[in-house]
Amino acid sequence: MLSLIYSCGLRRSELLNLKPIDIDSQRNIVIIRQSKGRKDRIAPLSSKILDMLREYYKIHKPKTWLFEGKTENTPYDERSLSNVLKQALTKCKITKPVSLHWLRHSYATHLLESGTDLRYIQELLGHSSSKTTEIYTHVSTKNLQKIKSPFDDL
């Protein structure tokens, strides 16, 4: 679940509302239906995530929801998902405060750092305003260090 949030830039509610049919393995996309603002969108599906989902599917055989709750026909619980993140952080000995939304933020930041155009990131995240997406344009020291001074060409 955490890997899928990060690999597609999903909101918590978007992950929990996914159905098995929303995973389009033929086109390598995830269909995110009726997200924030009642809009549908798609996100690219990583081949690594697709492999993980296939393994998950073999074991759990979800019917209604991709990630099902304890009670039949209910989605996985939000609090349980937060607990999954807490357990993962504990296992990895990460003490820095991390939230599920931080994974979405990291997705956008890493796309931006790898050269993805901000307009594409806006579309992938489902932002109606570019102003919302611009919060991810904070400058990273790593990228600043790569900039060549024009003086070097004199």
Q: Of residues 6, 11, 12, 76, which has the active-site annotation?
A: 11
CATH number for the domain including 54? 1.10.443.10
The per-residue pLDDT for 35 is 82
Query: What contacts 9, CB < 8 A, 6 or more positions away?
Result: 43, 104, 107, 108, 111, 124, 125
Average pLDDT, the chain: 90
Q: Is 138 a catalytic site residue?
A: no
Structural domain span for residue 32: 2-144
CA–centroid distance for 96 within its chain: 19
Please, what's the b/e burial string for 93-115 (b: 16 or more CB within 10 A of its CB; e: otherwise)?
Answer: eeeeeeebeebbeebbbebbeee
149: in domain: no
Q: Which of these ranges, 38-42, 59-63, 81-85, 137-141, has the smallest mean pLDDT? A: 137-141
The per-residue pLDDT for 36 is 81
151: in domain: no
Q: Is 127 a catalytic site residue?
A: yes
Q: Is 136 a catalytic site residue?
A: yes
- Indicate the pairing of strand 29-32 with strand 23-24: antiparallel
The per-residue pLDDT for 95 is 92
Q: Of residues 6, 12, 107, 127, which has the active-site annotation?
A: 127
Q: Of residues 101, 110, 119, 120, which has the active-site annotation?
A: 101
18: in domain: yes
Our count of domains for the chain comes to 1
